Amino acid sequence: LKILKIGGSVITEKKKNVFNVARLDKIREICEVIARNRENLILVHGVGSFGHPYVEKYKLKERKDVYGVAETHIACKKLNEVICETLLDLGVPVLPIHPLTFKFDFEFLKEMIDEGFLLVFHGDMVYNKGRFEVISGDEIVVKLADNLNVSRIGFATDVDGILIDGKVSEKFDKSMLKFISLAVGKSDVTGGMRGKLEKIFNIKRRCDVFVFKGTAENIERFLRGERVGTKVIL
Ligand SMILES: Nc1ncnc2c1ncn2[C@@H]1O[C@H](COP(=O)(O)OP(=O)(O)O)[C@@H](O)[C@H]1O
Ligand SMILES: [Mg+2]
């Protein structure tokens, strides 16, 4: 199996205090590529301006606010629905999975994959031991990679790869983490590239992992098994 994670920064307008702005042309373009190359694929997407600004508005990382959780969750689902409707329109049998209301049942997921569905996960809020927490698309990828037979993972984002001194690094390993700072100027409650990489290094399985710019062309290359952007060495 392979996982493609599409960053919220690719499919939404992700600036401070911007709510619910989807890049519909971009979504259509990417979905067309996915529709043509969907064998053995699981899709995960971030929620960008459909998620982060709500978490900030309701301060969901600091306090419990069930109404805020509800509003955030509905917004995440809205973006997921846009993507799923687009894929459906292109003939893809999609199965949207909403982390807040789905207890990760990997047997069920395997069965649905075998039935021919393209699973589509999204960043969301989850309930964990009496608390509501943010689950990023990146964290969902780690969960899936550790529990399903995944061998290749692509993180499509809004930069050409992992940058060190402004240049795209061809390879990246854990010892290079110290060069990566947190995202600034964006609404991001999950730590930008730094948060993403910390999560990636939690993956226990040996996988080929790539971080690259989420253009339709790059995504197609990733799905066809080519090398794109930065290769992360686990
Ligand atoms: N060294 C770095 N290399 C690449 N991106 C970086 C780096 N340091 C910070 N960033 C920021 O991380 C952002 C990507 O993370 P994020 O916005 O969370 O993307 P996504 O929406 O794909 O999860 C980049 O747009 C950039 O602003
Ligand atoms: Mg992110």
The predicted-structure confidence for 126-164, as pLDDT tens digits, reads as follows: 999 999 999 999 999 999 999 999 999 999 999 999 999
* Closest ligand to residue 212's CA: 1
Atom 15, ligand 1: residue with shortest CA distance: 192
Pocket test for ligand 1, best of 30, 76, 193 (most atoms within 8 A of CB): 193
Please determine, for residue 121, whether its predicted confidence score (pLDDT) is greater than 70.
yes
Closest by CA position to 212, among listed 161, 141, 173: 161
* Closest-approaching ligand to the CA atom of 10: 1
Q: What are the DSSP E strand ranges found in the chain?
A: 2-6, 41-45, 94-97, 118-122, 124-128, 131-135, 152-157, 163-164, 167-168, 171-173, 208-213, 230-233
Q: Which residues contact 9 (CB under 8 A, 6 or more apart)?
A: 46, 48, 157, 158, 186
Going by C-alpha positions, the residue among 69, 88, 91, 70 that lies closest to residue 80 is 88
b/e map 34-60, b = 16+ CB within 10 Å: bbebbeebbbbbbbbbbbbbbbeebeb
Radius of gyration of the chain (CA): 16
216 alpha carbon – ligand 1 mean position (Å)? 19
**For residues 191-214, average pLDDT:** 95
Q: How confident is the model at residue 184 (pLDDT cuts 50, 70, 90)?
A: low
Query: With bands split at pLDDT 50, 70 and 90, how would you rate the model's confidence at 17?
Result: confident
With a 6 Å cutoff on the Cβ, whether 168 touches ligand 1 is no
Ligand nearest 213 Cα, by number? 1
Q: How confident is the model at residue 72 (pLDDT cuts 50, 70, 90)?
A: very high
Stated pTM of the model: 0.97
